[in-house]
């Protein structure tokens, strides 16, 4: 683990204090279940799988190497791919950092061009560009607009309507937030309607917001990890060198599923490669409580659980898999 400089708000610790609550360490309730796995079709072409998204009966995987998005059906067969064009023009992408899929539209966050771009899911054609004042790192789509997670803004999020007008700017999470923004990286995932969650990469807290930017509740993940303070070397600031929580999915019953890797625990099934232990954790957004966990026995860069099909889509730099669970999680 990296060596962190001290927070300016507390000279005795190497983390930054969360404003509303503190992480708590507790044991996981691991569900034992069996599953079968199959290699997905054509994943040798996915050089750097970065994010996985679920929409209806389809799964979408982003290749960070060339910003191509692949579509798979519920059996793991590749159906289509959306190839984005590099550039600064309308519909072109310079640096895809996140994407979301809702109804018949794909939304892409382009941090380099400082834009969110939308495409037709049916045809792959460009729909619109939304030029922004800061760099959007993540994007998720609600019923009446989209939310971005910023890099370099004084607050963590902004919500926009579908005309590109900023409606809310919100999100004060930690002390000294402007000084530790690289410690705030994470993902944002919505229920597609009126709420979304912020899942930090580096801390054991999950934040649940409504569409107006009001904080509904805060969920505690089992591992008790605080937000780390950033590391600085002269004028350069470095993000933490580990990632803890990765990505999430909200189902129709307000259950949240989050893929987790533990930076300090080596998997008992993959000790030769020093890969970390990993789980899919389940939470109830209604009660703001952790529920249970499913252990992953291999290392992946991107994992998404589909509770409607009891399937797990998991991708790494070499191979992607479709796991079929034999019981509900």
CATH number at residue 252: 2.120.10.30
Residue 150 lies in a domain: yes
Please state the domain count of the chain.
1
SS3 287: coil
Judged against a pLDDT cut of 80, whether residue 22 lies above it is answered with: yes
SS3 149: strand
Q: Provide the domain limits for residue 40.
A: 15-325
Residue 5 lies in a domain: no
Judged against a pLDDT cut of 50, whether residue 267 lies above it is answered with: no
| Mean pLDDT, residues 231-251 taken together | 83
| Mean pLDDT, residues 281-300 taken together | 93
Contact 259, 282 (CB under 8 A): no
| Mean pLDDT, residues 92-108 taken together | 92
Judged against a pLDDT cut of 90, whether residue 188 lies above it is answered with: yes
Residue 4 lies in a domain: no
What does the alpha-carbon distance between residue 212 and residue 80 come to, in Å, rounded to a whole number? 35
Mean of the per-residue pLDDT values of the chain: 86
Residue 45 lies in a domain: yes
pLDDT score at 8: 40
The more confidently predicted of residues 14 and 18 is 18
Judged against a pLDDT cut of 80, whether residue 72 lies above it is answered with: yes
| Mean pLDDT, residues 279-283 taken together | 96
Question: Which residues, other chains included, contact 28 with Cβ-Cβ below 8 Å and sequence gap of 6+?
Answer: 222, 279, 281, 292, 293
Residue 6 lies in a domain: no
pLDDT score at 221: 97
Residue 137 lies in a domain: yes
| Closest by Cα among 104, 98, 165 to 135 | 98
Residue 3 lies in a domain: no
Residue 276 lies in a domain: yes
pLDDT tens by residue, 155-168 = 999 999 999 999 99
């Amino acid at each position: 683990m990296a060596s962190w400089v001290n927070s300016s708000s507390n000279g005795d610790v190497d983390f930054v204090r969360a404003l509303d609550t503190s992480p708590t360490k507790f044991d996981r309730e691991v569900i034992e279940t069996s599953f079968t796995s199959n290699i997905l079709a054509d994943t040798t072409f996915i050089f750097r799988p970065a994010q996985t998204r679920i929409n209806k009966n389809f799964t979408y995987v982003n290749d960070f190497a060339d910003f191509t998005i692949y579509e798979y059906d519920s059996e793991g067969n590749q159906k289509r791919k959306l190839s984005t064009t590099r550039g600064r023009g309308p519909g072109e992408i310079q640096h895809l950092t996140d994407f979301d899929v809702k109804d018949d539209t794909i939304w892409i966050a382009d941090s380099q061009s400082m834009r969110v771009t939308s495409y037709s899911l049916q045809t792959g054609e460009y729909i619109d560009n939304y030029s922004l004042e800061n760099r959007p790192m993540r994007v998720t789509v609600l019923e009446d607009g989209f939310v971005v997670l910023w890099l370099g803004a004084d607050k963590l999020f902004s919500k926009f309507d579908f005309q590109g007008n900023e409606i809310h700017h919100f999100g004060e999470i930690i002390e000294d937030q402007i000084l530790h923004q690289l410690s705030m990286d994470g993902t944002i995932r919505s229920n597609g309607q009126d709420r979304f969650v912020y899942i930090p990469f580096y801390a054991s807290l999950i934040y649940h917001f409504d569409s107006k930017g009001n904080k509904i509740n805060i969920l505690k993940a089992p591992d008790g990890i605080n937000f780390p303070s950033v590391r600085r070397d002269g004028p350069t600031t470095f993000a933490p060198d580990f990632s803890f929580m990765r990505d999430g999915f909200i189902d129709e019953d307000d259950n949240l599923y989050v893929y987790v890797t533990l930076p300090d625990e080596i998997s008992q099934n993959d000790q030769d490669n020093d890969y970390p232990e990993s789980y899919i954790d389940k939470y109830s957004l209604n009660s703001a409580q952790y529920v249970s966990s499913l252990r992953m026995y291999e290392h992946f860069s991107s994992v998404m659980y589909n509770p409607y099909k009891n399937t797990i889509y998991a991708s790494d730099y070499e191979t992607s898999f479709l796991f079929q669970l034999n019981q509900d999680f």
